[in-house]
Amino acid sequence: MATNNDRGQVSEFNRFWRKRENSLSRSAVLMHRLIYDLQFAASKRGYFLEVYKGEVDQDGFDIILDDRDNMKKLQVKTVISGSGRRSWKIHKAMLRPHYRFAEELGSEPSPEGSGYQGAVVLMDFACKGFSIDVDYYYVDVFVLKAFCLGILSLVDKRSNNSIKSIYLKLQHGKSHDKIWVCKSAFVKSKGPEHLLALAGLHGPVGVSWPDSLLRFMSDTGDFDKSYAAHELRQLISDNDVCFCSPPLKEAQ
């Protein structure tokens, strides 16, 4: 049975995590949580995921993930679950494709249209006793393109239009300009293992979504679109997201 002292400590713990003045402290703790979760997920594939931190945040990214074959820059945002926060300002360079893939993804292969081909991870957290539950949300240029192609969609048509508008705005302006990205543009990852796959990094989930989307875009056949949805269905756990087709028979 919990004592008054126990309840008092839990209350203090909750107050710490909710106070606005503690935002930098809790973001630091959550960054360690993210790195641990991803490195632990990578260890299931039998390797150590390298994580590099930038000394300054002037380029818009917080960490760089390296699986020895691929590197991914991440900007990390945190939000208290149920707080009502619905959008964040993101550097355009973070969400713009690398110049090698710019034309395929509808951008100019120049500083005006290309960028880091990075991603934004949103950590939606809630206090449960002395524990912190975290849901990971993810967005990059490939996820935005999936919405534009109709591989993914939202029930709310206005939200779909907002995501398409974000994609179009990315193609104009300077790379250090910022753009508002709404939460509806993020997809909820099933877990850290699936987050690695969404980012195109090696992990225990055998899906490389970014590579697959580029392959699917070279063939507009219905099967390829269905299979694209099938791959994303393995990675996403989001009740607000609809897929372009029912599950494939071989996925059942």
- Domain limits, the chain: 4-251
Average pLDDT over residues 81-92: 90
pLDDT at 2: 52
Mean pLDDT for the chain?
87
By three-state DSSP, how is residue 91 classified?
strand
Checking if the pLDDT of 185 tops 70, the result is: yes
Closest CA to 210 of 194, 199, 221, 223: 199
Average pLDDT over residues 160-181: 92
By three-state DSSP, how is residue 74 classified?
strand
pLDDT band at residue 58 under the 50/70/90 scheme: low
Checking if the pLDDT of 88 tops 80, the result is: yes
Average pLDDT over residues 151-177: 90
Q: What is the pTM of this model?
A: 0.90
Answer yes or no: are the C-beta atoms of 95 and 105 closer than 8 Å. Answer: no
Checking if the pLDDT of 6 tops 70, the result is: no
Write phi, then psi, for 46 (nearest 5 degrees): 90, 30
Instruction: Return the CA Rg of the chain.
Output: 19
The residues facing 49 across adjacent strands are none
Residue 163 tokens read as 């995501």
Handedness of CA 13, 17, 22, 24 (dihedral sign): positive
pLDDT band at residue 251 under the 50/70/90 scheme: very low
Q: How many Å apart are CA 13 and CA 47, to the nearest integer?
A: 35
Angle, in degrees to the nearest 10, between helices 141-149 and 157-170: 130
Our CA angle for 171, 175, 178, nearest 5°, is: 85
pLDDT at 176: 87
